[in-house]
Chain A
Amino acid sequence: MGFKRPQGAVGMQKQLSPLTMRLPVLLAALVAVATCTKTFVGHQVLRVIPQSDEELQKVQELQDLEHLQLDFWLAPRKLGLPVDIRVPFPSLQAVKAHLEATGVSYSIMIEDVQALLDEEQREMLRSSRQLPLDTTTFNYDAYHTIDEIYNFMDMLVAENPNLVSKLEIGRSTENRPLYVLKFSTGGTNRPAVWIDTGIHSREWVTQASGVWFARKIVQDHANNEGVASILETMDIFLEIVTNPDGYAYTHTTDRMWRKTRSRHSGAICVGVDPNRNWDAGFGDAGASAYSCSETYHGPYPNSEPEVKSIVDFVKSHGNIKAFVSIHSYSQLLLYPYGYTETPAPNAQELHEISAKAVAALSSLYGTQYEYGSIITTIYRASGSTVDWTYNQGIKYSFTFELRDTGRYGFLLPARQIVPTAEETWLALKVIMEHARDNIY
């Protein structure tokens, strides 16, 4: 277990040393003790600055009173130098009385040592890379590794066993589990919403947003607001790390990696674009047959286990009513088709939903989105996720491209994670509510 390193100089100072410099070391030491046996509830740290020889003597007398169990953080030395004393709760009255009786003035540096220790411990957990204890201490303002996200999922399930469960829908090429969180208040095979993030591994704001969405669903349910009403009649499925092999690779080797990490015989390069591998216009214009390309469609549809596992899940579930696949960057809300210019049968409805969703998104921070069909709004793309889900009959199939529009691109600063997730959530709610209110 690691402790924060002391921020300032340690030990006796010739001149006045600010308490803050000494604090982290001493607190760290106390934390070590506190986590074992002792508690410091009600303990206070008093500061005395002796101005006369009598005052100095009075303070020095305190050192001999062992039964008081005083802990001198700064021992009495000479006039004008501060003396800091940690006083256990039972001794407080006696010490203060002793000082006041002799007219020695003191100030209370720390009102309650335990409170400060608790805060320090929380702070250490927040800022360190060690695993947080619960989803309250988890840092949503940071990008996380796969292990941290998988740990988060387990914590979320453990804290909310009646709402959240974790499903393993398959394994990646490198044998990493593919996990989906299911949010359900009951029923049997209720109509459902599917959301996936991180299918393209370099789009880090999406996995990070997925983590935030998971917690948001739980919070809304607990507070009986937001999506609580949707959960009364529908289930939500959320796959946060849809391409774990790629995601691991962006951490260890290449931050710009997009595809899966599969090696197919006859292919010069590694990886298939999981958003060109679906069986909708597979291999048509809008994807590449060249394995080294970022839009390589793969040797055949669903060749990628990351894709096949979702296909199998969707088919066997049979009751998914809305499907949202999340990417970055460009700030777009897209609906089918990408592989053909033929408009989707309910393109008009999808267009209207998009307008509403984008307005909701924009209302929070003013972020501007464009919207429309994939082929007219971004580019022709074949074998893409939502073209397949749409052709399966999932009428409300959408793709998001989150922040930004190119200034940072894939390397979106972590401070933008939560604002991005918050605004996107408003758009997702519009889509989910429309699906709930237009059950088919």
Chain B
Amino acid sequence: MPGLRSSPPALLLLFLLAVPRGSRAGQALEPGSRSAAAAARVALQYRNCQAGSLGGLRALGQVRKATLKNIPESGHKYYLQFSTEDYRTGEDAGNCLATVLYPKKKSRPVVSIKCSHTKDQKEIQEEDNRFYQRIRHQSKPITANNIPDSYGNIEPALEPVWALAVAGSSSIMWEKSTETLGYFLAQVKSVRQWIRKDDFLEFDYTVLLHEMPTQEIISCHMRLTWLPGRPLKVKHFCASEGHGAEEGSGAESGSAAAPSAEKGASF
């Protein structure tokens, strides 16, 4: 059923304040709430990189149920039920149950997730093998820029390379996510393949991540290796400054190096 969800002004906040912290049942959230959707997205980002599969990549469909619990000394924990779509085709890919704990201490979210399938494992494995073969059978090491291009196009020959970027950057996005900061893959800026003597595929990527709610574009460098059936190995390094740091006319009062320190940049 299509979920036309609303966020009645102030009611949600009153509700959250009224319920005692640490209550065992947790507080039910509107399925349409931003924080529920953000947590569901983090859970899928975790799954997309852990699964090490390109054919099995999923995007968020709709959140069906969401509960928030405050775990004293630990952090905020979300309990979620949501539908998913195949990342490439948008077709229904099944439902997931997940928990996402945002730790009090600044570290990556702790995710547990279990999903049903619409595609069986064999089908997914075959897709992965097809992706793998398409990359292996290129006559030269792959290099490319701007995937998708400005107009949203992805060349069919580069689809496997893009899928690999989605899987790899999912690991970056999951690790960086907090209860107030979420990420989307905006674009693959560049990719370069390293040919190896063994069967593994190895790529260097520069990816642009869109950070919300700050609206910043974060540039990250990613080196990943992959073999179908094996988990993805990802090493990454993200630039600390947003992409807008360029010319200007003079020195500025206040800190120039810590955008997160100023008021209101994040929710």
Residues of A at the B interface (CB closer than 8 Å) are 142-143, 204, 250-251, 254-259, 263-271, 273, 284-295, 341, 343-344, 347, 351, 354-355, 358-359, 362, 366, 368-373, 376-380, 382, 405-414, 416
Contacts and interface: CB of A to CB of B under 8 A. Distances in A.
A286 B264 CA distance: 4
Given A256-B208, A270-B247, A410-B186, A293 B4 contact: no
Contact of A265 (B8, B213, B250): B250
Contact of A270 (B5, B8, B248, B255): B248
Contacts of A143: 150-151
The 5 closest A-B pairs by CB, nearest first: A413-B152, A285-B264, A372-B7, A379-B213, A268-B248
A271 B244 contact: yes
B62 interface: yes
B210 interface: yes
Contacts of A285: 263-264
Contact of A406 (B62, B184, B245): B184
Nearest to A266: B250
Interface in B197-243: 208, 210, 212-217, 241-243
Which one of A250, A292, A377 has the highest number of Cβ atoms from chain B below 10 Å of its Cβ? A292
Given A411-B150, A411-B186, A266 B243 contact: no
A263 B249 contact: yes
B155 interface: no
A368 B9 CA distance: 20
Nearest to A405: B60
Interface in B136-156: 146, 148-153
Contacts of B90: 407
Contacts of A411: 148-152, 186-187
Interface residues of B, number: 60
B251 interface: yes
Contacts of A288: 259, 262, 264-265
A380 B267 contact: yes
Contacts, number: 182
5 contacts: A268-B245, A288-B262, A290-B255, A295-B214, A351-B8
B3 A266 contact: no
Contacts of B265: 288, 290, 293, 295
Interface string B1-27: 011111111101100000000000000
A290 B9 contact: no
Contacts of A255: 146, 150, 187
B248 A269 contact: yes
A142 to B, nearest CB: 8
Contact of A409 (B210, B254, B256): B210
Nearest to A372: B7
Nearest to B62: A368
Given A269-B245, A292-B256, A293-B242, A413 B148 contact: yes
B244 A359 contact: no
B214 A370 contact: no
A361 to B, nearest CB: 10
Interface in B1-55: 2-10, 12-13, 32, 34, 41
B193 to A, nearest CB: 22
B41 to A, nearest CB: 8
The interface residues of chain A, by DSSP majority, are classed as loop
B252 interface: yes
A254 B186 CA distance: 13
A411 to B, nearest CB: 5
Given A371-B7, A376-B7, A406-B185, 11 more contacts: A256-B187, A256-B243, A269-B244, A291-B248, A292-B259, A294-B216, A295-B215, A371-B6, A373-B7, A405-B60, A416-B152
Contacts of B245: 268-269, 292
Which one of A143, A250, A269, A347 has the highest number of Cβ atoms from chain B below 10 Å of its Cβ? A269
Nearest to A371: B6
B6 A267 contact: no
B211 to A, nearest CB: 9
B111 interface: no
Contacts of A256: 186-187, 208, 217, 243
A416 B34 CA distance: 24
B98 interface: no
Contacts of A368: 2-4, 62
Contacts of B32: 370
A266 B6 CA distance: 42
Contacts of B217: 256, 294
Contacts of A412: 152
B59 interface: yes
Nearest to B4: A358
A289 B252 CA distance: 10
Given A293-B214, A341-B13, A372-B8, A267 B248 contact: yes
Nearest to B267: A379
Contacts of A371: 4, 6-7
A281 to B, nearest CB: 10
B262 A290 contact: yes
A289 B263 contact: yes
A303 B10 CA distance: 32
